Structures are given as C-alpha cells and as structure tokens.
C-alpha cells in the first residue's frame, strides 16, 4: 500500500490561495495541439487499467537514465503483470502512444512529482515509479479530471492505488505544472518540447492516409464505386479538405489517399475489414512498385527486413499475374507461420515462401534462390523521416529503443554509425548474389549517412573478382511528378522530404551493367518465347517472301557491280544533259522578240512544249495596275515554266505564290493614283507545274498592252494584300 502524508502538512511554505491560483492557471491554459486543432473532439476519459500497465512496462525499457548524483526518483527493474489482451493491435497502439508521450515529458513529469512533494513524502515501491509517470501524464492531459470507468473492465490493484494518490495531490500537481510553464515561458508543456519534435507531431496530426488496393480481391473501379456509395467523392487532391473525399496517388496507380480525420470512419467500412483496402505508409508502396518495374514474368524476389507483412502482401498482389515467387527472410520464430499463412490466405496471396534464416546467414549460392533476380532491401534505420513514430515501430517491427531518439528529434552519432554499418553489410551481401540483376534499397531516414553514403560505399568497394558484371547506380523507375522531385533525383536517387502530405523516403536502384559480349539476336528472343509457349501457332522455320527477296537482292548485288555503277552513271549524265538543254531553250525563248509569229515560236521550240499563260484574269489578291513592258530590265524575267515530258523524271516543287503589294496613297480618285504610281510595276510570281492550291495570277503576255485599272476594281480592292 502507498503511504501518503496528508497534503495539508506541506502547505506551510505557500498559501492555499497561491496554489489554487496556479492550479486554475494550469487547468485553463494547458492544452495539447490536437485539442486546439480539433475542437469538436470529445473530452478524454482515460485508458483501461491494462493499458496503463503495459505502457508502464514499455516506458521502463525506454526511459532516460540519469547519473547517480542526479537521480531523484528510482525506477525498479521488475515489470508489472500484464493481461492476455495485450496482443490486441488497438490495445498495443494505445499503450505505445501513452509510453512515448510520457517519455517526451519525462523531465517535466519528474519535476512535478518532486515539486508537489509526492516524492519523497510518500513511500512508493520503485517498480511503481514507471506507472506513476505514465498515469501522471494522462492525468494532466485530462486537465486533472477524474477518469471514467467501464463496467466490463477488470480493475488492477496497483493502478487503483496510484490513481488515488494522484487525485489526493491534484491541486499541488496543477500548481507545479503552472510553475513549470511559467519557468519556460510556454503556453503549455507541448511548447517546451524541441522544435523538431513539435513539427513532427504537427505533421502526424494532419498527414493524409495512404491505402493500397488489393487487386487480388477487387478491381480499382469497384473500389471507386463502393466508396462513392458510402458518400466518398473522388478528387485530385485531399489537402485542406474536411469532407469525405479520396484521390489516386501520382506515383502508385493502386494507392488511394484519404484525409487524416477519416481514419475511424474508414476502419468501419467493409473494404478495410475484408482486406480489400490496406492502410500503409507510401514509402513501402514506392519500394514494391520499383521492384515490379524491374521484373520479368518468371523472376523471383527476395525481401529483406520487410517489417510489416502488408509490404510482403503488396508485393505478392503486384506479381499475381506472373509466375514469380517471393522469398521472405528473417522470420525468427516458426510459431508465427500459421498466423502469417492465415493472413496471406485472407488477402489472396499465394506465391510467398518464408525463410527462417537471417539474411546474412543465407549463402548467395542457395539452391532455393537461383531464380531470384531482384532483391528488395528495407534495412533497419533511424526512421527520422516518419511523422508517427508509434505507427513506424508497430508496423515495421522495429526496436522500441528508437522511441528514445524520436522523443529528442534526432539520433546520436554513435547509434547512427552502428545503423549505417549494419545497412552497409546487408547491401554488400545482397550484391554477392550472382544470379540477381538488381537491388532496390529503401529507407525512411533523412540522414545521408544511412542513404547515399551507404550506397556509394557499397558500389565503390564491391567485389569485382566474381565472374559477373558489376553493379551501377540506375535512375529511378518511378515517375517524377514535380519539379522538386526532379531536382532531388538529379544524382539518380529518389528522395521525398518529410512534408505535410508524405513521410520522408529514400530509394536507390542498383542494376548490373550489361555484358557487351552478350548480344541477343531477334532469333534468340523468338526461340525463347517459343520455348515458353508464347508463340503458339506461329512457325519460326518458314521465312516470308519479303525476307527471301531481301536475301536474293543482297546476294545479287555483289555479282555485277560494274553494270549497276555504269547504269547509274549514265542516268546521272542523261539528267545533267537534259537540264542543260532545258535551261538553254528557256533562255532562248525569253530573249525572242514578242513580234515573232506563232509558228516561228513553235518551230524554235519544237522539241519542247511551252506552257503559255491564258488570258489575263482578274485576281482578287493582285491589283491590276498598268505596266509598261517596253523596256524590261536585265534582271526581270517572265515566269513561264516548261512542262517536262512525261518520260522525264523531274521532282515537282510545292506550289508557292509570292506577291509584293504596291504602295497605296490616299487620293480621292483613280486618276490621282494613276498619276502618282511609278511608270513600271512588276509582280514576280512563281507557280509550280500544276497549280492546284492558289488562283492563277494576272500576268500579261508579251506584246499585249496591259489594261488600265478600272475604278470599280480599285474600289472593290483598296488594300489587296490584307
């Protein structure tokens, strides 16, 4: 039994009025960020007794130990007796959250116990000190209000005794909390935490929920339809939306995103109860999708340090249509095999094989792993890129000692060096598997010592003595959906920094360099496909007629190279002579006087057919101004083209019309315009042999007097070039 001295015996140092004032200050001002951000949440009523007991045992193993001269509160080494229901997932989550919260405020809670004279005024067994710490945190989090009891709850004697003790010192505990806040000039004890921890908790309260679709049991379209029936609308983004909505992730086509406040509602939907939708951090989905992009139809996969079994299930679902087999190593206890097989059966996963050896003890030439082509390595890391440490510990089966690092917002150098060395050993061991062609390395850390440094060191010191091609760093196989992602991936690493929409993630893909001596022909590829039965009904022995013609042409070309070269040279010479004759005849026609008879012009060009322009037509795009062709300049040439003979091979030019508009002056009458324009106007007009795209220009024949412009034409087309 706890023996507590009356509260009144220790009130001589301060007046009860001052204590009451400080206590009221603590009760009115102290509140957590979650309460401020969610004013509609119900008031906290406490936890069951069994949760306090399990949280005390967890805190006992992760608490900060002080030097002997600074120890004011002693903690025992004996754990408290826990109930069998501690295996429940929700029960474990509540216990870990309570223990982690008490760990973050360990110094403040110990100061409150000493300042309120609970220590050393009471005779408290050392093994109950951890229970007092976790229950005190929950007591002040409830603003020192009484806990509500459940009728179905079995009371635990130690919890009842500690609760009675705290209730008897309620006023002094509230006053001690107020003095602590005043000392640190903080609105609440939450603001006393390091800034990194505060930012982490703020992100955890608003981070969206990610869930992947189990396509072995349901299609994405059916999921969308079911969610719509439940009142969920599909949107492009779930940020800053308080409604029932969801969105599809940009990197993973089978991952849906929900607002954080919908978790309790979603857990009651059949889609989650029946394992059709599974909550999981996005970084794990990115890892399995990267592996899927590197696989062939019959390639096996080796998964190392998978953490959550949902990651294994997701990998199995993505390879459901393949003949791939997934090997999972590191399952130490065979007693978990029935539970795991039961879980995988419920999720529709059939291609999973569990290995009980640790990864470093598996030989690279293990006969079971001869078809393994891709190794997925998810090493233990500091996890400082995640926002919810408790979820990370529970889902990834990590060491609870990491909670101590999370409570301080960082990892010590010594521990970081130990983790990096373990990661390096696992990565180099994965690179020793001679049959493997790729290694995917993924962490939730933000430290370069665990990410880039490990990969670069492994590539630098990889064993080049074995008769396989060395590994190289490959670009990400995931889509880059923003400029920031592109900038972060310039060195071939895929990174996501911790933010309000996702946790931190680092991903690297290592692939073997292609052997230049191994060249696979099309015939070899077809032979392999035929051996696997992928070319049913297609005969590879018979070659097509086109291939036979190609072979004949290739064989016949070297036999008579002289005749072919001579014929080609003759064609070139004939073409040049023909072009020379055409140019000579054209110049002769242009220099002939316009007064020659028509029959002389015909006899002069008997071998050539001259295309004569027809009667001048009015072109709406060309003004019909008067021309004076009496004295043509040397560079002025009439644009008459010769129609080539049908047997001549002349490449037809594309029809192009170029019209240079005259200058229009603002005169009121056509006579004014006529008097001001120059005496000669020329329109250079080029028309291809066949003019089918543009109207014929108004070009006069030589010897014909051009018609003067009529007033009607000028009024109809004042600005013909527009």
Q: Which residues are catalytic?
A: 444
CB contact set of 551 (below 8 Å; sequence gap of 6+): none
Burial class (CB in 10 A: 0-12, 13-18, 19+), 207: buried
* Torsion, CA 362, CA 365, CA 369, CA 374, rounded to 10: 90
Can you tell me the distance from the alpha carbon of 355 to that of 329, in angstroms, rounded to the nearest whole number? 5
Beta bridge partners of 233: 245
Helix (H, G, I), strand (E, B) or coil at 443: strand
Can you tell me the distance from the alpha carbon of 468 to that of 513, in angstroms, rounded to the nearest whole number? 9
CA 243 to chain centre: 25
Can you tell me the distance from the alpha carbon of 74 to that of 57, in angstroms, rounded to the nearest whole number? 15
Specify whether the CB–CB gap between 305 and 377 falls below 8 A: yes
Specify whether the CB–CB gap between 437 and 375 falls below 8 A: no
Tokens representing 66 are 């002080």
CA distances from 302 to 79, 366, 468, 529, 630 (A): 38, 12, 19, 25, 93
End-to-end C-alpha distance for the chain, whole angstroms: 105
Can you tell me the distance from the alpha carbon of 89 to that of 283, in angstroms, rounded to the nearest whole number? 22
Residue 3 φ/ψ, nearest 5 degrees? -110, 105
DSSP annotation string for 663-674: PP---SSHHHHH
Token pair 């007097």: residue: 705
CB contact set of 253 (below 8 Å; sequence gap of 6+): 220
Can you tell me the distance from the alpha carbon of 704 to that of 347, in angstroms, rounded to the nearest whole number? 94
Beta bridge partners of 277: 213
CA torsion through residues 617, 623, 628, 633, sign: negative
Specify whether the CB–CB gap between 330 and 296 falls below 8 A: no
Token pair 């006087």: residue: 593
Helix (H, G, I), strand (E, B) or coil at 172: helix
Can you tell me the distance from the alpha carbon of 62 to that of 402, in angstroms, rounded to the nearest whole number? 9
Residue 616 CB: number of other CB atoms within 10 A?
A: 16
């Amino acid at each position: 039994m706890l023996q507590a001295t009356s509260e009144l015996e220790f009130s001589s140092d301060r007046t009860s009025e001052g204590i009451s004032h400080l206590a009221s200050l603590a009760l009115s001002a102290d509140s957590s960020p979650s309460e401020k951000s969610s004013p509609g949440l119900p008031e906290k009523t406490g936890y069951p007794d069994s949760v306090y007991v399990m949280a005390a045992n967890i805190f006992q193993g992760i608490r900060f130990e002080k030097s002997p001269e600074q120890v004011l509160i002693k903690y025992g080494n004996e754990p408290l007796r826990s109930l069998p229901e501690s295996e429940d997932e929700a029960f474990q989550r509540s216990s870990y959250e309570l223990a982690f919260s008490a760990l973050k405020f360990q110094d403040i809670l110990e100061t409150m116990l000493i300042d309120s004279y609970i220590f050393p005024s009471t005779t408290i067994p050392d093994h109950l000190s951890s229970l007092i710490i976790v229950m005190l945190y929950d007591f002040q989090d409830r603003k020192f209000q009484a806990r509500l009891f459940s009728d179905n709850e079995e009371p635990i004697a130690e919890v009842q005794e500690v609760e009675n003790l705290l209730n008897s010192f309620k006023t002094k505990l509230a006053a001690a909390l107020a003095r602590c806040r005043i000392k640190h000039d903080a609105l609440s004890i939450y603001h006393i935490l390091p800034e990194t921890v505060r930012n982490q908790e703020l992100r955890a309260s608003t981070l969206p929920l990610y869930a992947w679709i189990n396509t072995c049991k349901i299609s994405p379209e059916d999921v969308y339809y079911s969610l719509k029936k439940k009142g969920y609308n599909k949107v492009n983004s779930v940020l800053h939306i308080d409604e029932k909505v969801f969105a599809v992730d940009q990197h993973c086509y089978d991952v849906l995103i929900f607002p954080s406040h919908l978790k309790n509602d979603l857990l009651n939907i059949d889609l989650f109860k029946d394992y059709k939708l599974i909550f999981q951090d996005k970084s794990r989905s990115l890892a399995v999708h990267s592996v899927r992009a590197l696989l062939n139809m019959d390639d096996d996969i080796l998964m190392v340090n998978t953490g959550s079994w949902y990651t294994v299930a997701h990998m199995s679902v993505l390879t459901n249509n393949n003949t791939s087999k997934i090997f999972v190593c590191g399952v130490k206890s065979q007693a978990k095999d029935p539970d795991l097989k039961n879980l995988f059966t419920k999720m529709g996963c059939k291609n999973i094989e569990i290995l009980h050896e640790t990864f470093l003890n598996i030989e690279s030439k293990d006969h079971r792993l001869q078809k393994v082509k891709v190794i997925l390595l998810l090493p233990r890391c500091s996890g400082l890129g995640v926002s919810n440490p408790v979820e990370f510990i529970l889902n990834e089966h990590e060491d609870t000692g990491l909670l101590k690092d999370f409570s301080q917002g960082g990892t010590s150098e010594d521990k970081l060096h130990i983790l990096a060395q373990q990661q390096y050993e696992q990565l180099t061991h994965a690179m020793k598997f001679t049959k493997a062609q790729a290694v995917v390395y993924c962490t939730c850390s933000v430290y370069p010592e665990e990410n880039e440094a490990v990969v670069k060191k492994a590539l630098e010191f990889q064993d080049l003595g074995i008769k396989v091609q060395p590994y190289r760093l490959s670009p990400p196989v995931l889509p880059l959906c923003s400029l920031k992602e592109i900038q972060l991936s310039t060195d071939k690493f895929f990174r996501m920094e911790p933010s309000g929409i996702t946790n931190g993630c680092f991903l690297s893909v290592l692939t073997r360099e292609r052997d230049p001596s191994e060249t696979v022909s099309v015939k070899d590829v077809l032979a392999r496909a035929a051996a696997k039965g992928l070319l049913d009904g297609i005969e590879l022995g018979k070659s097509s007629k086109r291939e036979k013609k190609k072979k004949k042409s290739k064989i016949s070309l070297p036999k008579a190279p002289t005749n072919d070269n001579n014929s080609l040279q003759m064609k070139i010479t004939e073409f040049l002579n023909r072009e020379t004759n055409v140019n000579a005849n054209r110049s002769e026609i242009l220099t002939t006087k316009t007064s020659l008879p028509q029959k002389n012009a015909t006899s002069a060009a008997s071998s050539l057919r001259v295309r004569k322009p027809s009667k001048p037509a009015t072109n709406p795009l060309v003004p019909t101004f008067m021309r004076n062709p009496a004295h043509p300049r040397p560079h002025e040439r009439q644009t008459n083209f010769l129609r080539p003979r049908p047997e001549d091979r002349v490449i037809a030019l594309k029809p192009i019309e170029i019209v240079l508009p005259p200058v229009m002056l603002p005169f009121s009458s056509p006579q004014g315009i006529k008097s001001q324009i120059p005496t000669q106007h020329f329109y250079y007009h080029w028309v291809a042999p066949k003019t089918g795209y543009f109207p014929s220009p108004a070009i006069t024949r030589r010897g014909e007097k051009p018609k003067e412009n009529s007033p009607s034409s000028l009024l109809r087309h004042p600005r013909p070039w527009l």
